[in-house]
Structure formats: structure tokens, C-alpha cells
Chains A and B, each alone.
Chain A
Amino acid sequence: MKRTVRIAATCASLFVPLLLQAADAPTLTSAKELKWTDVAEPAGAKQAVLWGDSKSGDNGVVIRWKFNSKAPDLVRTQDVHIVVLAGTFTVEIDGGYREFGPGGFVSIPKGVKHTLGCEAAGECRLVVHHPGAVEVAKAK
């Protein structure tokens, strides 16, 4: 039940910004129209902004990570919600390890140390949502 509520809340938070935008103008973006930019880490990563700005508020991006990528020991100043679109996305928290395929959902509260990765099978594609401005840093 708790998980259902969390997923519902996440879905709401994912789509409310879009609905709010819809009051002005609909956002209709096909995969081919996404504007990809390079990301510093992990090597070869790219992202395309769906809505918002990570420096100022609620934001969503699509991310592509190359297979065998890893981003170790991260902490965020904001909760993060992730939906896997393709590939095998890996999450390590407190010594626990899980793999998530397409349709998999991950929610990590702010401040929790986590390691994210993309397994060897192929490129990972993810929708990543932060419900507010965020800074991501290596855990000390």
C-alpha cells in the first residue's frame, strides 16, 4: 500500500508539471526530437531535458548511460525518482544490490548514499525526476 501511494505520488509529481504547462501549451516531443547533451559522468552519458531546470526547481530528464557505466557513492539534496525505459539499471544502497529492467521504478530519498549503474547488456535509458532543485555530489 505504501509503495502504491509512493508510485501514485511520483506519477502525480511527474505529470503535474506537464499538466500545468498544458494550461499554456502542450508539450509534445517524440523521441527523435529530444535534444541530447553530454554529461560529465559517467563517461559517455547523455541527457535530454523534458521539463524544468535542475538548478531552480522541479525537473525531469531522459538519461542515456553506456553499458558497464557506474556512478558510485552519490548523495543528492533532493529525492530522486527513476523509471527505466531500456537496459538493466542497477542500484546499490547499504550493501544491497538490485537490477531493474524496462518499467522498473526506483525512488531514493535525499541524503541517502547510493551507487547507480548500467549492466553489460546494453545502453540504459531512464526518466529521472527531481521534485525540486538538486545538487548531486560524491558522498564523503
Chain B
Amino acid sequence: MRQFIHAFLLVLAAALPTAAHAQAPAAPTKKFEIKNDRTYLGGQEFKIWGIRGGNALMSPAVTERFVRNFDNMAAHGINGFIVTVMGTNTGWPEEWAARNGFEADGRLKPAFAQRLEWLIREADKRGMVVGVTIFTPRNVANMQGEESFKRALQETGRFLKDRGLRNVFVDIMHEYNHRRVVPDIFKEPGGPEKKARLHAWFKEANADVPAGVCPTIDRGTEPFFPGSDFNIIQKTMPIPAKGFTINVESHKRDNYDTDGVYDEKGLAENYSWFETYKKTPNAAIFLHAAFITGVTGRDGSAPHAEMGGYGKSAEDAGVRWYYEWVRDNVGRWEYPKHVPVKAKS
């Protein structure tokens, strides 16, 4: 009898790690699509105005802060949000502190998967799209080679598919060919073939989710490759003439040790980029700010899910200027469209 109980417990323990994938079926979210160089959510054409929250999955409390701010984002017209399963640059005082949502062998950690699903579903309730970044330059060095990358891609793809999480797109590798990248599959030369291989691995697990690979600016690698579903760019890379392009990371103009503080030049550059993307129907942009992405930061409270102040000084740190620009120049977000608001008096 004792042996039987022991064996039963062993079988139970072996089954537990797969529990994250074996949850009860869930209602599918609205489907995100890119067709004819335009974006659609739930079959409705729409324009994305996004925010990049690279470390939003790092802990339950941080994810909760972002989720609790989705209503305010939507009220200001922001209808897109990017998270990173592998975590990203945590900025200052420690830039290598990102929490990795994958085990070294590529298994998706159940706790990260749960937070990812929660965030995606809460975004869906507001008619928002979520960009899911899989790999980032620093933490890929802590993985166990190509088999682990394939497993990470396919576990994430299957998780999104099995859980009906469809209001998403995927950036397979953020900053391909970054100088920090160690594994060969994320580096030139041979980038187009390697990117196509990564893309095919993901698509084997989930054919419906649009996926691409973000190049590192000025590193001799392209925003498209054979089979890519759309172009991904970052910072000030030019928008390719053909296809739909998502700039997943605007050029941040605050710094990690003075996060949320901007000079006039930095703000003017941002407004200029927003105008460019506003008049470009086949492109979308996600705001990147040290204020939103960094961990700890100058005042110890980053990453900031909140919009904060106008960024004029340390006492006014924030990205409220972006929220209000989108609200005043595009409109508040009421799925499936932006609703213009009266100009500020």
C-alpha cells in the first residue's frame, strides 16, 4: 500500500509541470490580423498606438500595475502593449537583472504563462492588441542552444494557441544581431535563413499569430526575411515602403538614471515621430521609455505602469505627454475605433 501511494505521488508530481497547459478551455480573444498592409482586430480595421512595457511580466505586482492602467491607456487612445517573455534591459542601477520567463532548456515557466494570459485577456477586454516578444539579447546567453530556442518558441506558440490568445503578434527576437548576442542563430551572417528557421519553428506551433524579427538598428540586418508576416523596426529606422511595419521600440529620449525626464529636443523628436506614424497607414509605433521599461530607476519605483507627469523635471517625471498627444491628436480608444476628443482649452 505504501509503495502504491509513493508511486501515485510520483506520477502526480510528474504531471504537475504541464498543468499550465492543461487548464480548462478558455474563450478565444479577438483575433489580430495583418492584411493588405493594414491591421485588424476582431475583423475591424484599426490603427495601433502602443506602449512598450518590456519588463511587465517580471512579477505579479508589476503585471498587476500595468493591467490596472489599461483603462487609462484606452482613455487616452493607447490600444497596444508590448511585453517580453524573456525580460529586457532593466536599465539602472542594474541593466542585467531581467527575469527570464523561460527555463534554460526552453520550458515556459507556468507563473510567467499565467501572467501573460492575464495581461492578454485584460487587454482584450479593452480591445487592445499585445505584442509578445520572445527572445532578447542578454538572456539568450543563459539558454541551452538551438533546441532550447525551438522549445521556447513552440511552447509559447502552443500556449497562445491552446489558450485562445489571438489578440497578439510576436517579435521572435528583439534586436537581432545586437553586439551583445552570443548564440549564432541570432546573429549575421546568414540572418535571413536563420530568421526564417526561427519563424518556421514558431509557425509549426501556431500558424495564426503574425510573427517577425526585430533587427538592431545600424547593425546590417533587415526588418524582413523570407516568410515574415510583417516588418519590424526599432528606434529611428526608416519605415520600409512595402508591407506593414511595426516599430516595436521608439527611440527612448529619457535615460534609465533620469527616467521620465525629457528635454525639449527629446520631446520634439517624439512628437515628430508620432506625426510620421499618424500619416503612415501601413505603420504603427510603440513608445519606449526608460520610465516604463527600467527596473528601479532614479526614484526606485520603476517600471512605471502609470503615466506620471509631463517629464519636465525629476519632480514631474513621466510620459503623460505621450498619453495626451494620442488622446488629443488621435482620440480615446473605444474598440473598434478612436473617438476624437475636443482639443484642450
Contacts and interface: CB of A to CB of B under 8 A. Distances in A.
A86 interface: yes
Contacts of B256: 121-122
A67 interface: yes
Interface string B220-244: 0000000000000000000000000
A27 B286 CA distance: 50
A60 interface: no
Interface string A34-72: 000000000000000000000000000000000100000
Contacts of A101: 93-97
B102 to A, nearest CB: 21
Interface in A72-130: 85-88, 99, 101-102, 119-123, 125
A88 B255 contact: no
A87 B93 CA distance: 5
B94 A123 contact: no
Interface residues on A, range: 10 to 19
B53 to A, nearest CB: 18
Interface in B72-98: 89, 91-97
Contacts of B105: none
B95 A86 contact: no
Interface of A: 67, 85-88, 99, 101-102, 119-123, 125
Contact of A122 (B92, B96, B97): B92
Given A86-B92, A87-B92, A121 B257 contact: yes
B93 A102 contact: yes
A102 B94 contact: yes
Top 7 A-B residue pairs of the complex, sorted by shortest distance between their CB atoms: A122-B257, A122-B92, A86-B93, A121-B95, A122-B256, A101-B94, A121-B256
A123 B257 contact: yes
Interface of B: 89, 91-97, 255-258
Question: Interface SS of chain A: helix, strand, loop or mixed?
Answer: loop
Contacts of B96: 88, 99, 101
A121 to B, nearest CB: 4
Contact of A67 (B89, B94, B97, B257): B257
A123 B95 CA distance: 12
A125 B89 CA distance: 19
Contacts of A88: 95-96
A97 B186 CA distance: 19
A137 B15 CA distance: 63
B95 A67 contact: no
A30 to B, nearest CB: 17
A102 B96 CA distance: 10
Contacts of B92: 86-87, 121-123
A99 B138 CA distance: 11
Given A101-B94, A121-B257, 19 more contacts: A67-B255, A85-B93, A86-B92, A86-B94, A87-B257, A88-B95, A88-B96, A99-B96, A101-B93, A101-B96, A101-B97, A102-B94, A121-B92, A121-B256, A122-B93, A122-B255, A122-B256, A122-B257, A125-B93
A120 to B, nearest CB: 8
A98 to B, nearest CB: 11
Q: Which of A67, A88, A101, A121 has the most CB of B within 10 A?
A: A121
Contacts of A102: 93-94
Nearest to A66: B257
A67 B95 CA distance: 12
Nearest to B97: A101
A18 B210 CA distance: 61
Contacts of A119: 95
A70 to B, nearest CB: 15
Nearest to A125: B93
A123 B94 CA distance: 11
A68 to B, nearest CB: 10
Contacts of B257: 67, 87, 121-123
Nearest to A99: B96
Contacts of A120: 255
B208 to A, nearest CB: 37
8 contacts: A86-B92, A101-B97, A102-B94, A121-B255, A122-B255, A122-B256, A123-B92, A123-B257
Given A67-B255, A67-B257, A87-B257, A121 B97 contact: no
Nearest to B257: A122
Contacts of B93: 85-87, 101-102, 122, 125
A10 B257 CA distance: 29
Contacts of B258: 122
